[in-house]
Chains A and B, each alone.
Chain A
């Protein structure tokens, strides 16, 4: 009798919704840089802030672009895009969303002092047509404007004016950042409180313009940098979700009946890149660069037993690849995903034919804190190359130490990972890494591995608005890089999330961004 009464009381409480507030405790592997979405161009910070702020367009759970604050768009001319804005959208403080907010936000993000200026490279200007129509003008024909706009979040003009936040935070001019600690977006969640490095609390935005697919009332975001502490917090039930479950602890997490591990592969492809300058950096071959010989590059490729790397260094969790971009990236061709087979004798023969029957020494630059299990796979590959008769010298160090050497070209072989984010298009890799260094291209072309044919294709793809023509151009450029073995592809690195059984379902896309507005709790 008593039990029944209790049950009834519980049901009554649940109906009022007060006692049933669903709180999701999120233990992340690190803190976000700031609440100002224009303060730090980092994918993780932007993905967390995407719960609060929205762009004109957004990615769906399977990485397709869909309307968000803009309802539709068209190209008026090759350099002018017209966006029709969604009506009836309100910021968290109640201000209505209009064209003025879009213009003010675009002006702020493209300010000379904005660290995010590079995320909107083609922007020339924006014009208000009416309260709900905006024209964005670009420098020249530019096919990736929508991709870029997914990460340009819209801020409230009135709110920025009231708080002296129209310009991005800037150290040089001493502009203090109100937006660093305060937020006012249109997104599915609003910031309730924030204590950096400790806890940031989000509450559901009841007036969100979109029909919520989630049923979360509160999100408590806590960075837990130590991997073992994060796993302990997961096991002890102090957090419901983590977007970085350490690979070595996955068996332990899945062994718990309350915890589910979601595992897939990232967009980030990992490969080795060569120094193709005239002389090697640290080698017993002084007069020339052996890597300039395609037979040597092929020999290094064939000497890698990728299955052993996958099994041992990557704990069976990576996806072996022959292509330079992941399957979800436009520009990917399944036919390019075929790898050269592992062939140690063939590698030795190729080296002998190139004039290095006894191999040669070179320096391998790898990082201890950058890619997933980078130390392990670099060591594995170094020993495989030794077996082929080469003498690789492995230089291992933290990212902050290795990066300056890499940028200067002080290496012979480097491990390299590229996710093509935030634009999610092969053009990112092609223009930033593969293309020869000149003007705005080839910023990451640290080893002079450019190719004139590739450069021409990349430049053409950069101004082609028709995806049906543009994507084959990129695929062709990637095919040349593959045929020339400019890089040795290895794998798409693994990613793993873990969640407690308090969460019914979530969407895990290969860009490794949690989208809690698509997450349902029990």
Chain B
């Protein structure tokens, strides 16, 4: 087990280093922040001075080494644009993104699981077929289009829900939450649905497939034969056996949601990490862009590693493979 653990951790560290390098490499070609940071009046001497101050005239290897060394300590430098610490900037925006992702995850489970069960049990009924069809639409409709449609319908025409922003937020230590005010909760609805729609269809299709599989199993037939009510068979016996893969996928999808929140956040002016990234792109704020990529990759890598470790914990065969050096063959 310790060997396996070490191996997974080294793997994760390797991936992070590669991401850091890619992030850094890409941004070498993004452009020159100096031209965007100074105004029309600045002279050549000031331009050169700023370039020097930002360390842009140092060699590539030097810049990368400094970057990785600092990033490992959680120091992503200072934003070119507003000269605040990048880490603080990201930490400030994280609660907004996280709460949005939380709502989207909750919605995807609360709506996706019942729909999945329904479409599995009544697989031949018209509503179930319609749901299957609509779910294809849900997967293929881009979330920005959906967001704008929602805004047009619920904000402009009906005026029920706010079109942008987080509403009033309450500060709990360094965490800002929108859950505690009514305007904050209202503001979560539209972006939450927009972000969750893809997940809802994913969960629904996953639950449906698993349910269909399980309903064919012997123990279900025995349960039916014993004369248990359909309700008990479906929910207590069948569904419970389907939930493990759903939970795994949901866990892995949280990383995706954080990354893809970027689009939803732009449409709804949601002050989260995605917005921060988009703003950083406009201003060629390289430290912020690099830090964002690394933070999001870090969340991905951590979730994946945790899932791997949990699996290994549950299933000893994986561990034995790892010790035999065949972990990659599975």
Contact = CB atoms under 8 A, between A and B. Distances in A.
Contacts of A493: none
B30 A401 contact: yes
A232 B150 CA distance: 11
Given A118-B39, A170-B83, A235-B156, A229 B269 contact: yes
Nearest to A169: B83
Contacts of A421: 39-40
B46 interface: yes
| From A34, A112, A170, A225, residue with most partner B Cβ within 10 Å | A225
Nearest to B284: A400
A40 interface: yes
Interface in B260-299: 266-269, 271, 275-276, 278-279, 281-282, 284
Nearest to B85: A176
A404 B35 CA distance: 8
Contacts of B17: none
Contacts of B92: 196
Contact of B43 (A169, A238, A400, A443): A443
B102 to A, nearest CB: 18
A180 B36 contact: no
B31 A400 contact: yes
B205 interface: no
B91 interface: no
| From B32, B41, B78, B81, residue with most partner A Cβ within 10 Å | B41
A40 B35 contact: no
B84 interface: yes
B41 A432 contact: yes
Given A115-B50, A171-B83, A121 B41 contact: yes
Interface string B42-81: 1111110110011000000000000000000000011001
B81 A232 contact: no
Given A39-B83, A197-B93, A422-B39, A404 B32 contact: yes
Contacts of A369: 282
A33 interface: yes
A43 interface: yes
A231 to B, nearest CB: 9
Contacts of A226: 266-267, 269
Given A180-B84, A198-B271, A226-B266, A40 B37 contact: yes
A387 interface: no
Interface stretch (B164-172, B218-226, B242-250): B164-172
A86 B278 CA distance: 43
A443 B278 contact: no
B83 A229 contact: no
B202 interface: no
A34 B285 CA distance: 14
A230 B269 CA distance: 9
A519 interface: no
Given A118-B39, A170-B83, A432-B40, A232 B31 contact: no
A118 B281 CA distance: 25
Contacts of A400: 30-32, 36, 281-282, 284
A41 B155 contact: no
A33 B83 CA distance: 9
B27 to A, nearest CB: 10
Contacts of B192: none
Interface in A150-200: 169-172, 177, 180, 195-199
Contacts of B44: 437, 440, 443
B318 interface: no
A261 B46 CA distance: 40
B307 interface: no
Contact of A232 (B35, B54, B77, B156): B156
A222 interface: yes
Interface residues of A, number: 61
Contact of B53 (A41, A171, A199, A399): A171
Contacts of B89: 196
Contact of A43 (B39, B45, B163): B39
A237 B160 CA distance: 12
Contact of A238 (B46, B83, B163): B163
| From B49, B269, B275, residue with most partner A Cβ within 10 Å | B269
Given A222-B164, A235-B156, A400-B31, A197 B276 contact: yes
Interface string A52-84: 000000000000000000000000000000000
A403 interface: yes
Given A236-B163, A238-B163, A224 B36 contact: no
Contact of B38 (A27, A118, A235): A118
B31 A236 contact: no
Contacts of B31: 399-401, 403-404
A340 interface: no
B148 interface: yes
Contacts of A113: 53
A431 B279 CA distance: 31
Given A31-B279, A229-B163, A171 B38 contact: no
Contacts of B279: 30-31, 197, 225
A171 B77 CA distance: 8
Contact of B39 (A41, A169, A233): A41
A443 B39 CA distance: 11
B255 interface: no
B71 to A, nearest CB: 16
A257 to B, nearest CB: 14
Given A197-B275, A224-B269, A232 B42 contact: no
A42 B42 CA distance: 11
A40 B82 contact: yes
Contacts of A112: 49
Interface in B14-44: 30-32, 35-44
Given A197-B271, A369-B282, A232 B41 contact: no
9 contacts: A33-B81, A40-B81, A41-B41, A112-B49, A172-B53, A229-B268, A230-B164, A404-B32, A443-B42
10 nearest A-B pairs in the assembled complex, by CB-CB distance: A400-B31, A118-B42, A171-B78, A198-B271, A41-B39, A197-B271, A169-B83, A236-B155, A34-B82, A440-B43
Given A236-B155, A443-B44, 10 more contacts: A30-B282, A40-B82, A118-B39, A177-B84, A196-B92, A198-B271, A224-B165, A230-B164, A232-B163, A407-B35
